[in-house]
Amino acid sequence: MIGYIRWIDSLSKALGHAFGWCIVMLTLGTSYEVFMRYVLNSPTAWAYDMSYMLYGTLFMMGGAYTLSKNAHVRGDFIYRKWQPRTQAKVEMVLYFLFFMPGILALVITGFFYALQSASILEVSVNSPAGVPVWPLKVVIVVSGVSMLLAGSAEICRCLLCIKSGQWPSRDEDVKELEDVLLETYGTDPGARK
């Protein structure tokens, strides 16, 4: 089970890192649009479509990565006081009641939505440029499948925690700057290691 979790986590990490480049493309495209619009007084016809497609892709494809890092927002003022076994039991119930049915509905509905969009080579109605939007609709299915896989890994984590009483470790990837500074300097900002 640990091997499966690690494999899914590595897949989620690879997808998260690959689609993280959408931020760079989004920044460059938006900067280009601002320059064209305000300096050259010649706005582009595709900038709005590009921005919502890249942001939507980044948001959807980052879901599994965020789940694998246990970084989704959670109201845990009660949860964090529970024992790990209790946390795992509650999480597993919630995964089966809400997460899996919701993501499965996203995959099934998104598949037919994407299929219809791709079959007619759908383009954006928001701009005269006719930017294709069917690839964005295919991303819905891909992100749903990656979330299903990440959710199955989380269920495996719950099972391991129920059995052992401890949450399985997660691979480290990136750290918040605040955490790095605290590790380096401690609570005294003037201290050096």
The tokens describing 101, both together, are 């049915």
| Residue 133 covered by a domain | yes
Q: Band of the pLDDT at 175, cuts 50, 70, 90?
A: confident
- Is residue 152 in some structural domain? yes
* Domain assignment of residue 99, yes or no: yes
Give the pLDDT band of residue 193 (cuts 50, 70, 90). Answer: low
pLDDT at 105 over 70: yes
Work out the average pLDDT over 10-35.
92
The answer to whether residue 148 sits within a structural domain is yes
Residue 103 belongs to some domain of the structure: yes
Tokens (6 digits) for 22: 């959408």
Q: Give the separation between CA 54 and CA 92, rounded to whole angstroms.
A: 32
**Domain tally for the chain?**
1
For residue 193, tell me if it sits in a domain: no
**3-class DSSP state for residue 120?**
coil
Amino acid at 43: P
Residue 120 has pLDDT above 80, yes or no: yes
Q: Residue 128: helix, strand or coil by DSSP?
A: coil
Q: Is residue 190 part of a domain?
A: no
| Chain centroid to CA 149 | 13
Confidence of residue 126 (pLDDT cuts 50, 70, 90): confident
pLDDT the model gives residue 131 = 84
Supply 16's token pair: 């998260």
- Is residue 191 included in any domain, yes or no? no
Alpha-helix runs per DSSP H in the chain: 2-20, 22-34, 47-68, 84-94, 100-119, 134-164, 177-185
Report pLDDT digits (tens) over 71-100. Answer: 888 777 888 889 999 999 999 999 999 999
**pTM of the full structure:** 0.82
Q: Which domain range does residue 166 map to? A: 2-185
